[in-house]
Each structure stands twice: as C-alpha cells, then as structure tokens.
Structure 1
Amino acid sequence: MRAQRGPTLSLRHLLIALTAIGLLPLAALGAWSVHLAAEYHQSEQERTLLDLARALSSAVDAELDGTVATLASMARTPALEAGDLAAFYPIARDQARAQTEWLGVTLAGSDGRMVFRTTAPYGAAPQPIADPSSLRLALVLRRPVIGHVARGQGGRAAVPVRYPMTDVHGRPYVLTAIVQPDRIMRVVTRQQVPPGSVITVLDGDGAIVARSKGGQDLIGTVPSPSLARLIRLNGPEGAGQTQSIEGATLASAYTRLSRYGWTVAVGAPPVGWAGGPTEGFKWYGAGIVLSLALSIGLASLLARRIVRRIAAVEAGAAALGAGTELALPHSRIREIDAMGTALAAAGARRAAHEQERGRLLDSLADALARREDALEQARQAGRAKDEFLAVLGHELRNPLAPIAGALDLMDLRGDGAGLRERGIMRRQVEHLKHLVDDLLDVSRIASGKLRIDVRPVDLAAVVRHAVVALPDQPIRVQAPDVLWVDGDEHRLAQVLGNLLSNAARFGSTDTRVTLDRADGAARLVVVDNGVGMEAGLAARVFEPFYQAPQPLVRHAGLGLGLAIVHRIVELHGGRVSAHSDGPGLGSRFEIRLPLGAPACATPPAAVHAAAQALRVLVVDDNEDAAALTAAVLRELGHDVRTAHTAAAGLDVQRHGRPTRRSSTSACPTWTATRWPPPCAAPQRGRCGSPPSPATAARRVWPHMRKSTSPCSTCT
C-alpha cells in the first residue's frame, strides 16, 4: 500500500518549527496565567454587578413600598371604611394632586368595575380598567400588587399600584394609584457606575419601567433579546454576557428577588478576555514575538551549515541510483558521516540485489505462464463437466422412459399382484426422473441454452394445477380467479413444483401458497412449517449443487431445484427470495413477476378418441421403448407392428401399409392432447382404486415424448 504523502518541509523550516515548539510550553503557561487572571477579573465584575443589582432592587422596592404605604393610609380613611364613597372621593382627589408622580387614583369594586377615578367628577361614567389582570390578582391575593407599565391615551407611561381593602360592611375594594415611573428613573440615574454601563428596571411582565439610557422613549418596550434570554434561562439571579439595545457587548447581572416581581439588570463593559486585550496582555504578546524572532535567527544560521552537508549526501544518493561510483566527503556531523558510510554499503548491496531481481523476474514469468495453463485447463474441465452433465442426463432419460412405461402397462392390464412394489418403483422412478430433468436444465443454464416461450399465462390457473398434481401434500391455496403474467406456462409450473417439492423434502406438514398483486407485480409466496434455515443457509440456497446439512433433509437431492427456480424467475424478469426465522420455524419463498395483458379467449381444440381399431407402425431404435409402446397400443385394441431402423420400418410399410390419418404432426395422436398429471399413488388404498386403462395409457405418452430416440411413427 502506498504511503499517503503530506506537505514537505525543508530542514531549515523544520529547525525553525522546532525552535517555535520549544517556546510553546512557556507561551502556553503564560497564556494560562493571563487567562486565569482574566477569569478572576470577569468573575469579580459579575459579582460586583450582581451586588449592585440587588441594591437597586431594594431601592426600587423601597420606592414602591412608599406608594403602597400612602395607599394603605388612604384605605384607613373613616369615610372609605364606612363605605361612604362620595365622601372619600375628595380625599382621594386631594391626595392624588399632592403626589407629583401620581396621575390619579381609582377605586374598583369586587366585580372588577371602576367605581370612580379622580381624573373625572364623582359619578361620571366608568372607564375600562387598565391592566385588569393585576386587579383580579389583588382581589384574589388580598395584598398589594404592582401592575404592568403601560402608556395611556395621552402617551404618558404609568404603573398601577393596587391596594386591596374591605369596609365595615365586608365589601371588598381595590384602591389604585396610577404612578409615573419618574421616581424609579431617579433611583437609577443616581447610581455611580462605570462609563458605558446600563441599568434596566423591568416590571413583572418583562417590560422596561426605567433605563439609564434611552430616557422615556424606551419605557414600556422589551429589553434586548440577549438580556431577555439570560433572564428566561437562569434562575432568580444570574450573570452573563449580553448585547444591549444599542448593540454594545456588556457583562450583565440581574436579580428578580423583588417583593413585587420586578427585575433589576445591570450591564457594564466586560473586563478580561471578554473585554478585549488589556495593556498587560499586549506587552506579554510582544515579548513572545520578540523571543520567537531571535530563536528563528539562530536556527537559520545552524540550518545553513547542516544543509550544505546534506547536499553532499544527496549527491551521493543520486550517484547510487545511477549506479555510478560514490564520492562522499567527510563531515564533522557524526550522523551525516554515518549516512555516507551507509550509502557506500548500500551501493554494494544494490549490485547483488540487481542480480537477484533478474532471477526473480525470470521465475515470475515462468509462474505466470504456468498459471495461464492452469486456468485454461480449468476452463476446459468446466466445459467438459457441462457436456458430461448434458450427455449423462440424456443417457439416463432413455432407460427411465421404458421403466416408467412398463409400470403403467402393468396398471393398464389391471394386474393386482405387486401393487405396493409398483408404487414404490414408480415413486423412485419419478424421483430419478426429476433429478435427470434438473441435470438437463442445469446444463442448459450453464451453456446459455435455457429459453422460455413467452406468452400470456394465467398464473392463478398454473398455481391451482400445480397443487392438484400433488394430492399427497397438505397444501392450502389462496389465489384470485385470474392473474395474468407474460411467461412460459411449463417453466412457471416447474418453478412452483420445485418449491412445493422442496417444502415436502424438508418436513412441511402445512404448506401455504398465496398469490396476489403487490406493488404492481404478481407475488407468489410459498410458506412451509418445515425444519427452517439459518441466516447463512438462506443466503446460499439458490447456488447450484448447494445442499442443506443432510440430517435435516428427508430425501436427498442434487441441490439443483432452487438454482433452477432462480434462473427461470430471472428469465421472466422477476426476482425470488428466501427467508426463515431460524431452525425449526419453517421457510418462506417469495417470487415477484411483472404483470401481463390477458390472452385472447380461444376455445380448446376438441379431442376425439379413435372410434375403431387401427393398424399402427412403431419405429424406435430403443427396442424396449418400441416393445412397450406396441404393448400399450395392443391393450387399447390396435393392430401394432414394430421396427427398430428406418429401413426396416419402410420395408414393413411396403408389405402391409397401415391405416393413414391426415395430420401435420409427426405423432398426431400423442401431441394433440395435454394430458392431466398421473396419480401420485396408483396402488389401492391411497388413490382409492387402480387407475383405469385410459388413465394408465395417458401416462405412457409423456415418457415416450421425452425419449431422446426419434419420435415413433403413428398413422
């Protein structure tokens, strides 16, 4: 693996960097000390600001207490205590005029409606109550409440100070003084704070009551967003950095410990790092820069001497690469002198290595040539294996057809002896025939000769026919009446048959087949309750010749069925997947195929049985197959002759011409009808009764059609 190259440095720059790195600990220690001092100053400033905010909060509470005390003395007036509001009105009016910061006095009843106000004659129509929430709060809490600052119709800002009381008849009232915030503003402006500081007093709703900057224009507005966020996120008291309304950065502290729910915030220009570099910080930085410049100068002088010696070593290394003689001068630097000696030794070793490298290259060329020969032999062996499988399948099929036909002929004759043995032989022949078909299909897949005849197919009908062909298996089917796809009906039936056989082989006692539409495609699902699979096995079941562990399998196979299923589904433009929740939990196979258009409805061709006995000539180079076919036809009442070569067949035809039937098919009687599948259990007790002669005869023809010998001639 190639090393990832980064930025390079010259020796001079490296020495300078080394010198700077040596100063880093000292610089870091000094910076840390300065940082601690800055943090200390910052914490001290926050503590001082918080103390000032607490003092201002106490002063604001004192001003509000004075107003509350005045209202309390008014509430003890005999006229108000007796409930004589008309007599109390001039007292309240005179008191309001005596207080220069008061805009007026109002009295409200328990229903929240205004009884009178001193700014209007007694008995005047009541006006809506400003800040009704604080009035209700005073009636509920029965204690003084300070309302929210607001501006009246005249544009003057005022704060309602409410005092609840009860007369001798038990009727509750709320006496309210409408107070301008001028007294609070005077408390704020009297404070001695550093230049650039800002003091803000907020009411219980967070609105500005007084501010050291901005004057009357900011009363009733909200503070800066950073200050509002600092107050919202912290507790009753806190400190932090904020941005003022004017845009200045401030170190702020606030307190909300006022008895009336008001907030006092104090902000000042920050000190320490937050306030920018001080004079001491500047001198410290200048010293660090000067020390670094002096160190860089000394490192440059030393680097110049070292670089000259290294240049000589570099020239020697170039000579080593070119294969010329090395000439390295002596150096007073021991490391560089050692490098020169090492280069000389490397030159000697290089010559030896070049010779060894030549020998290795020759060996590598020989190994590559042998590798190519081995690959070609492997490819030839693979082709030979595929050809062997194809020939083996064809050669095995020839003797299988007469064996299966002989069993059918026994059933056709109604011979009751050996029923059980014939059933065993039939099942084993069918199993062997299935293995041979799988071998032939795999050879076609390997050679790329597997083809499908695409036409509209009713997949629902294919599913039902495939299930009916397996009466011994417990299968439940759920499918629509019709579901059309484009494909090969025979191959699709083979796919479902392989999946159902696989379920039976792995011990399924309840197999469910479901066909439906899903996401614009036909979905065919086969679920069994067999031995199941592990996750690694489910990922490899579609590989050719791969088999599950043999203790799990009831009947051994070649491991080709699912590989054939996978290839056929691919040729139909679909996909197949396998899933299992684990050993003993069954398996689930899902196939998705593209939907197709329905086929044009055409009535099936009628099949007519022969009304009379015929003279039939059977020509087949397989003597057993010819004899078996002749025996079946004789059982059906026909006059049959046999021949095993084309010349013999022509000779028989010349001496006794058989009955001729007009047909464009080489074997019209055999290919005109698609017979239903044979009974899987012909013996009595499983199927109910031995098959009829016609049923047994129908079993013979498929075996004959699949023979590799020339098709028998029938007329």
Structure 2
Amino acid sequence: MILRRGITLSLRHLLILLTAIGFLPLALLGTWGLMTAADVQQREQDRSMLELARALSSAVDAEHDGAASALTGLARTPQLQGGDLAAFHDMARRQAAAQTGWLGVILSDKAGHAVLRTMAPFGAPAAPVADPASLARAVATGKSVAGSVMRGKGGRAAFPVRVPVDLPDGRRYVLSAVIAPDRIVNVIRRQRAPGDWVIAVMDGTGRRVARSRDHERFVGGAGSPGLQRLLRSGAEGTGDSRTIENVEVRTAFTTSARWGWTVVVSAPTASLRLPLLQGALVYAAGLVLTLAACIALASLLARRIVRRIDCLVQQAAALGAGKPVDVEPSRVREIEQMGQALAAAAAARDRHERERSTLLASLERAVASQQAALAEAREAGRAKDEFLAVLGHELRNPLSPIVASLDLMDLRGETGAQRERAVLRRQVAHLKRLVDDLLDVSRIASGKLALELRPVDLADIARQAVAAASGMEVTLEAPASLWVLGDDSRLAQVLSNLLSNAGRFGGGTAAVSLSTAAGPDAEQGMARLAVSDRGTGMAPELLARVFEPFYQAPQQLARRTGGLGLGLAIVRKLVELHGGHVTAHSAGPGQGSTFEVLLPLAQCGQAPVAAPDVPVAQGLRVLLVDDNEDAARASALMLEHIGLDVQVAHTAHEALAAYGGSGADAALLDIGLPDMDGYALAVALREAAGGRALRLVALTGYGQKGDVARALDAGFDLHLTKPASLDDLRRALAA
C-alpha cells in the first residue's frame, strides 16, 4: 500500500506558478529599460533644444554683426570723416531707409548727447537718449554693443546697435542704429520648431526682445521668475521652468559671448512626457496580455502533458501485469503516477533480458555478415589490383616491339618514313601515358603511392620538363633555383601532365612561370608554379569538376584531344601528397586557362650530380629473354645494330641452356615467361654464373612499385618497364 504524504500540486498549477515567477524579472527589467529610455530621451531632447538655441544665437549674432558692419561702413564716409554733418545726415537717413527693420540712425558724442537723428530734420533739438547705459559702455570700451529693448514715446519697441567712431581730429562719436524687434522675430520664424514650443530672445538686461508666441504682448518685458532663476545658473544650460502663461516647460538657453543676448527655447513638459507615458501604457498592456497568453498556454500544455502521462501509466501498468513494487512518494501527483507505472514495468525485466539475448545473437550475426562483406571487399580490391597489373602488362607488351622497331629504323637511317615514325612515336607515348595514368590513379585510390620527399630544385625540374615537351611551343620564366620539399620524379610528372593538358587544349602554346608565392598568409612559405595557355578555356561548371577522375569536357565525336580524364586528377593527388594544393582559373570559353600549383619551400639543398654516360662496350654479350617473339626480334636487331652480341631465348629453359653454353655479360629478362617467371630465372642465372660478373635487367610490363622491389630482391640490378627505348637499354647495359 502506498501512502501519500504532504500536499501535492497538479502540473498545471506548477507551470502557471513558474510562468508568473519568470515574468517578474522581465517586468522589472522592462521598467528599468523604460526609465533608462526616458532618461536618454530627456537628454536627447535637451541636446536638440540646446542646439536650436545655439543656432538661433548664431543667427541673432549675425543680425547684430550685419548692423555693426553697416554702421562701420557708414562711419567711414567722407561726409562724417570731414565733419560735414548735414550731408552725413542725408546719407544716414537714406541708409536707414534702405535697411529692413531700421527705424533710424543716431550720432551721439562721448558725453551722451545726440548730435543728429535721422528720425528728425537736421538741426532739430536733441531728444533724450534711450538706453544711456549701452551708450556709455560703447564710449568706455570702444567696442560695438547691442543695447536693451525700449519703448519710445509712440509706444513702439526698439533696440540700438552702437558702434564707436573716432574722427581724424580726435573726437569720438557713437553711431547707433535703432532697430525694430521684428527683425529678430523674423529670425525666430525662420526656424522649424514644433508649434507648441516657445522661443524667446532676451537682451543683456534680461528683457524680452522677441518671442515666437504673442510677441507684441510681451515684448520688452522680463522673463518669468523660474526662467530668471534658470538664466542665473550660467551662460547656457537646460532645466525646468514656467512660461509667462504659467505653463510648465522644459527650457534650454544660451548666452552670446559676443553681444550678451540670450536665446531661450522652451517645450511644454506635457508634450515631452506624452510619448513616454504612451510607451509605458503599451508596455504594461503588452506585459499583461503576454502573461495571460502564457498562463493559457501553460494550462493547455499541462493538460496535454497530463494526458500523455495517463497514457504512459496505462501502458506501463499493462506491461507490468499489475505486480506490486515499492515506489517512493512524490509531491507531484502526475510524477508519482509515472513512478508507479515504471515500478510495475520492472516486473517484466526477465522478459526484457530474453529479448536482449535474442538481440545480441542477432547483432553477432550482423557483425559476422559485415566481416564477410569486408573480406569480400578486400578480395575485390586485391582482384582489382591484380587486374590492373595484368592490364598494364598486357598493354605495355605490344608497345615494346613497336618502340624497338622505331628505334631500329632510326638507327638504320631510313628517311622514307620519318613523318610516319614520328606519328607512331607520339601515339605510343600517348598510350604509355594512358596506362601509367590508369595505374597511378589505382595506387593513389588505394593509398599505396609513396613519395620520397627531399629538397629538390623545382626550377631545374621545370627546365627539364619544358625541354622534353615536344610538339608545342613552351616559354619558361623561372629563377636560377627554387628549392621545395618533394619527389623529383612525381613533380616532373605533375608538370608533364599540365603541359600535356595545355598541348591538347591550349592551341599548341603554353607559358610556365615559377616564383615564390606572395599572397595571403596561407600562401607564405610556398612556391608557385603556373602553367597558362590561350586555348579553349573553361566554363564555370567545368572549372568546378576539372580535377575529378575520368571527368572530361564535352568533346566532338572524333575526340581529337583524347585522354581518359585522369591527368589532372593525378596532378591534384600528387600535389596534395606534397602538402600543397592546385587550382584552375579561366575567364571563360575561348579565353585560355591557368593552372597554379603551390608547394612548400625547403632549405637549399645540393643538386644531384648526374652520372656521366658510360658507353656500352662493343661486343658485349647480351642474353635477351622474352616470350613475345616480335619484341625479342626487334630488340635483338636494335642491340646488334649498336655493336652488341645478342642471344635470344623465348623460355626460361632456353635461356639457361644458352647461358650455360656460351655465357653472357648481361641479361635482359622478361618476367612473365611461360615455363618459369623472371624472378626465378634471375636466381637460377646467378647460381649458374658461380660468382662471375653478370648484369641482370628486368624488362617487363609489370611496373608497379611492388614489382620493382620484388625484382631487386630477386637479384636484378635494374628494373625497366616496357616499352623501353634504345637510350633506356643503353643506360641499363652500361656497367
């Protein structure tokens, strides 16, 4: 019997509680974010208002500067400089009439008495000076000043801009322009400010010169107490204040250091706070709606989970056949039910063990089947290697008498068929390259291709490969030496395959360049080999697959370019085995191609010293053993033509009999003989020689690395792969 202890909660209640707890930090974070955004917005608003105040202050200064410049120009007229005040009165009156917003021009002496006024006829009695303080400041400092706004007898407001004037006779005057505030109002109206903002310009005494709202009503008056307190805080700044209409505003102000006037920009606080309040309301509403949606989703999810748990309980109880088990109690009702079901399922453990045993047996059978499949695959791979070896042998054997016959015709000096012999040599070389490519691809795919890496001079290899490229025009640009870490024979094969590809598709011309890579960091310490042609070029889809084995560009039915599509695949594999990489580039069909090979650089080594050519001794006795009668006959005639004594045998027993009868200095042995293979024959000939000098050369169609090693182990001095040229035979027989 299972006892329930404590309070249990449904999964639905737990999920709802978890949702509420998860939303609490989200709500706090959102509130903090809103407060931060409000602070940022407030600072941005203050900055914007202060920039507007600075711009307006610059515009007001420009108005004052313009008035001061006009007065300065007026003071330099000959009439004033010569003391002709009557003429100057007429000129000043015309100047005042030409200036927008100017009410008149006044000339005062340093004592503060008005000498002339353009608002009255010349010689009229002097009127009292408005704003004597600014006049006294201009006389004392000798600098231009802007006075305070005043209302005249007619009630019209105006402010003076005063410029000190020093005449040649030493007298000092002050020339003043009386300007209506409308000119400053126009400056304010040119600014694009929101309609509920209030902009005001205050003179140096704090009186209002211009205002964007109710200008005529408030011109000449002082600012509100709150604004006055704010202006006393410094030359510029921002803060809260109230307008004359008692509207709470956010205010920015700046005071001109040049003229001492202040520009005030105010925005209603309510309009600034409205977006923040709206954002807060939207956030709160979104938070409430999201919480409600999550609670509803949690309830729905809880119902689905509980329903699924009920199903599991029923299945587990059925599986266990209702046998009792000891289950630990849980405060979560649904989890407790799942525990009971799992405890009931434990009663079926024995049946599960039987099933597991059956499964293990089945797994063992599967493993055995897999091992058999692997064995079959290995056997298939071995059969493939044997097939390729036999294929190479059978394809090379017919080439041997052809090459020997061509060499023999060259030795005889037959000139009648030179062109035809050249054609035959090209085709034989092509067939030999196809066989070599096919066998190389097989070795690379099986991982049996090994390289002998050592420092080699890539420049020397390039020069030899270019010199050996017949039938095409090749230019070479290379330094005197460039050392890389590589296998010289395989690097020569790489360059030969690239040149062969250029010969087939490059129009008969190619350019080879060799340099040190100077590209990205990944190419530092690499040698760059480039083979370029101006031939058919490649489309992008061909560039993407040009290094794949057996892939070739679409060709005509005649297949003039030939090949098996293996040359470039071999190039890529050989370069990668050297720790480098190869890439192909082409601007498109008909625009040529470039193949670039990058190889790791190496420390400068010592170039191998070529062994001097040793001539073959005249009258050298040679035993030639080959079951291919055509190849044996042609090779024998060729060797006899260069002065050698040749005996021919077609079987191993004939070879042993011939050697025992007359002896020989060297033997050229085929490996695939009908009665005894060439390895066994080599051992037998060594025994028959009894210590006498006998040079054994294997001449066979089997040319894989394992075949070479086996030949050397059997006692051969050298291994030649068919077809062997006359030069190959000379080097092989020269002891």
TM-score category of the 2 structures, normalised to the smaller one = 0.5 to 0.7
Does the aligned pair in 1 maintain the 2:237–2:252 contact within 8 Å?
no
Does the aligned pair in 2 maintain the 1:81–1:166 contact within 8 Å?
no
Q: How many residue pairs end up in the alignment?
A: 504
Counterpart-to-counterpart distance in 2, 1:201 and 1:393: 112
- Please state how far the C-alpha of 1:184 moved relative to its aligned partner: 3.8
Counterpart-to-counterpart distance in 2, 1:478 and 1:147: 86
- Please state how far the C-alpha of 1:451 moved relative to its aligned partner: 2.0
Counterpart-to-counterpart distance in 2, 1:663 and 1:104: 137
Does the aligned pair in 2 maintain the 1:387–1:443 contact within 8 Å?
no
Does the aligned pair in 2 maintain the 1:165–1:175 contact within 8 Å?
yes
- Please state how far the C-alpha of 1:409 moved relative to its aligned partner: 0.8
Does the aligned pair in 1 maintain the 2:434–2:564 contact within 8 Å?
yes
Q: 1:667 to 1:160 in 2, by over 3 A?
A: farther
- Please state how far the C-alpha of 1:616 moved relative to its aligned partner: 1.4
Deviations 1:158-182 (A, max 9, x none): x99435989999x9987379xxx88
Q: TM-score, normalised by structure 1?
A: 0.55
After TM superposition, the structure 1 = structure 2 runs for residues 58-137 of structure 1, keeping only pairs within 5 Å, are 81=85, 88-91=109-112, 99=131, 101-102=133-134, 104-106=136-138, 117-118=139-140, 129=143
Q: 1:564 to 1:261 in 2, by over 3 A?
A: farther
Q: 1:665 to 1:580 in 2, by over 3 A?
A: farther
- Please state how far the C-alpha of 1:575 moved relative to its aligned partner: 0.8
State whether structure 2 residue 217 is matched by structure 1 residue 222. Answer: no
Please point out which of 185, 189, 210 is paired with 2:206: 185
Counterpart-to-counterpart distance in 1, 2:454 and 2:416: 46
Counterpart-to-counterpart distance in 1, 2:367 and 2:697: 60
Q: 1:216 to 1:175 in 2, by over 3 A?
A: farther
- Please state how far the C-alpha of 1:632 moved relative to its aligned partner: 1.8
| Structure 1 partner of 2:419 | 420
User: What amino acid maps onto 2:314 in structure 1?
Assistant: A
| Structure 1 partner of 2:466 | 467
State whether structure 2 residue 543 is matched by structure 1 residue 538. Answer: yes
Please point out which of 700, 709, 712 is paired with 2:726: 700
- Please state how far the C-alpha of 1:578 moved relative to its aligned partner: 1.4
- Please state how far the C-alpha of 1:276 moved relative to its aligned partner: 7.8
State whether structure 2 residue 600 is matched by structure 1 residue 600. Answer: no
- Please state how far the C-alpha of 1:146 moved relative to its aligned partner: 4.5
- Please state how far the C-alpha of 1:96 moved relative to its aligned partner: 11
- Please state how far the C-alpha of 1:399 moved relative to its aligned partner: 2.7
User: What amino acid maps onto 2:136 in structure 1?
Assistant: G
| Structure 2 partner of 1:518 | 517
| Structure 2 partner of 1:270 | 270
The residue matched to 1:270 in structure 2 has which SS? helix
Comparing 615-624 with 523-532, greater Cα deviation is found at 615-624
Does the aligned pair in 1 maintain the 2:627–2:651 contact within 8 Å?
no
| Structure 1 partner of 2:443 | 444
Counterpart-to-counterpart distance in 2, 1:161 and 1:663: 131
Q: 1:384 to 1:91 in 2, by over 3 A?
A: same
Does the aligned pair in 2 maintain the 1:574–1:592 contact within 8 Å?
yes
| Structure 2 partner of 1:388 | 387
Does the aligned pair in 2 maintain the 1:476–1:513 contact within 8 Å?
yes
- Please state how far the C-alpha of 1:589 moved relative to its aligned partner: 0.8
State whether structure 2 residue 631 is matched by structure 1 residue 615. Answer: no
| Structure 2 partner of 1:323 | 318
Q: 1:649 to 1:251 in 2, by over 3 A?
A: same
The residue matched to 1:223 in structure 2 has which SS? strand
After TM superposition, the structure 1 = structure 2 runs for residues 261-660 of structure 1, keeping only pairs within 5 Å, are 263-270=263-270, 273-274=273-274, 315=310, 318-323=313-318, 377=376, 380-519=379-518, 520-551=525-556, 554-600=560-606, 603-610=609-616, 613-624=618-629, 625-644=631-650, 648-658=654-664
Does the aligned pair in 2 maintain the 1:538–1:578 contact within 8 Å?
yes
Q: Percent identity?
A: 41
Counterpart-to-counterpart distance in 2, 1:292 and 1:537: 56
Counterpart-to-counterpart distance in 1, 2:375 and 2:621: 53
The residue matched to 1:104 in structure 2 has which SS? helix
The residue matched to 2:136 in structure 1 has which SS? strand
- Please state how far the C-alpha of 1:583 moved relative to its aligned partner: 2.4
User: What amino acid maps onto 1:438 in structure 2?
Assistant: D
Q: 1:503 to 1:215 in 2, by over 3 A?
A: closer
The residue matched to 1:91 in structure 2 has which SS? coil
- Please state how far the C-alpha of 1:544 moved relative to its aligned partner: 1.8
- Please state how far the C-alpha of 1:618 moved relative to its aligned partner: 2.0
Counterpart-to-counterpart distance in 2, 1:400 and 1:309: 80
Counterpart-to-counterpart distance in 1, 2:499 and 2:544: 19
User: What amino acid maps onto 2:536 in structure 1?
Assistant: V
Deviations 1:327-355 (A, max 9, x none): 9xxxxxxxxxxxxxxxxxxxxxxxxxxxx
Q: 1:635 to 1:498 in 2, by over 3 A?
A: same
User: What amino acid maps onto 1:270 in structure 2?
Assistant: A
Q: What are structure 1's unaligned runs of at least 5 residues?
A: 1-8, 19-45, 107-116, 120-126, 130-134, 136-144, 149-158, 194-199, 203-209, 228-240, 243-248, 328-356, 671-696, 706-710
User: What amino acid maps onto 2:542 in structure 1?
Assistant: L
- Please state how far the C-alpha of 1:498 moved relative to its aligned partner: 0.5
Does the aligned pair in 1 maintain the 2:109–2:173 contact within 8 Å?
no
Q: 1:516 to 1:375 in 2, by over 3 A?
A: same
- Please state how far the C-alpha of 1:641 moved relative to its aligned partner: 2.4
Comparing 395-404 with 265-274, greater Cα deviation is found at 265-274
- Please state how far the C-alpha of 1:488 moved relative to its aligned partner: 1.8
Does the aligned pair in 2 maintain the 1:389–1:440 contact within 8 Å?
yes
Counterpart-to-counterpart distance in 2, 1:656 and 1:87: 147
Q: 1:272 to 1:569 in 2, by over 3 A?
A: closer
- Please state how far the C-alpha of 1:292 moved relative to its aligned partner: 14
| Structure 2 partner of 1:682 | none
Deviations 1:43-69 (A, max 9, x none): xxx9xx9xxx9xx99xx99xx9xx99x
Q: 1:271 to 1:663 in 2, by over 3 A?
A: farther
- Please state how far the C-alpha of 1:607 moved relative to its aligned partner: 2.5
Does the aligned pair in 1 maintain the 2:622–2:644 contact within 8 Å?
no
Does the aligned pair in 2 maintain the 1:404–1:703 contact within 8 Å?
no
Counterpart-to-counterpart distance in 2, 1:308 and 1:222: 65
Deviations 1:220-240 (A, max 9, x none): x2334xx9xxxxxxxxxxxxx
Deviations 1:529-568 (A, max 9, x none): 2222222321222222222223395322111111111111
The residue matched to 2:237 in structure 1 has which SS? coil
- Please state how far the C-alpha of 1:495 moved relative to its aligned partner: 0.7
Deviations 1:69-123 (A, max 9, x none): xx99x999997937999993333699999846438343xxxxxxxxxx347xxxx
- Please state how far the C-alpha of 1:515 moved relative to its aligned partner: 1.1
- Please state how far the C-alpha of 1:592 moved relative to its aligned partner: 0.5
The residue matched to 2:599 in structure 1 has which SS? strand
Does the aligned pair in 1 maintain the 2:473–2:509 contact within 8 Å?
yes
User: What amino acid maps onto 1:555 in structure 2?
Assistant: T
Does the aligned pair in 2 maintain the 1:618–1:629 contact within 8 Å?
no
Does the aligned pair in 2 maintain the 1:511–1:526 contact within 8 Å?
yes
Counterpart-to-counterpart distance in 1, 2:503 and 2:303: 86
Please point out which of 212, 217, 220 is paired with 2:228: 212
Counterpart-to-counterpart distance in 2, 1:580 and 1:561: 18
Deviations 1:306-328 (A, max 9, x none): x999979964662144337999x
Deviations 1:580-615 (A, max 9, x none): 2222222221101111222336654333435x6223
Counterpart-to-counterpart distance in 1, 2:132 and 2:639: 135
Q: TM-score, normalised by structure 2?
A: 0.53
User: What amino acid maps onto 1:490 in structure 2?
Assistant: S
| Structure 2 partner of 1:342 | none
The residue matched to 2:398 in structure 1 has which SS? helix
Q: 1:493 to 1:665 in 2, by over 3 A?
A: farther
Does the aligned pair in 1 maintain the 2:443–2:449 contact within 8 Å?
yes
